[in-house]
Amino acid sequence: MGDTTDHPGLREKIIPTYEVGCKRILITNKWIPTMKRDNVHLITNKVNKISKDSVITPKETIKPDVLIYATGFKALDFLSPISDKIKGRDQTLL
């Protein structure tokens, strides 16, 4: 399920260059077949611009149907201005 040998270059893009635990740990490799689909593009190089219908890199311009902007570990930082105001029974959100 996690074999990337039929897609040159994919392995280098998806294998982390940081130590285990520095970012979220994925406990499955069932997502790898998705990355191998012809209609999926994993962009790991610099993105110069995101326009209303394109992702522009130094090497190419892609017109995606869907854009997943996954920046990594701090997924709740956007809540920090309001997180101390969101309260549960015994604690705040963060």
pTM: 0.55
Model confidence over 30-60: pLDDT tens digits? 888 888 888 888 888 888 999 989 999 999 9
Question: How high is the mean pLDDT of the chain?
Answer: 78
- Counting residues of the chain whose pLDDT is more than 90, the rounded percentage is 14
Residues 6+ apart with CB under 8 A from 75: none
Mean pLDDT for the stretch of residues 56-77: 78
Q: Which of 84, 86, 11, 10 is nearest to 41 (CA)?
A: 10
Burial 71-91 (b: 16+ CB within 10 A, else e): eeeeeeeeeeeeeeeeeeeee
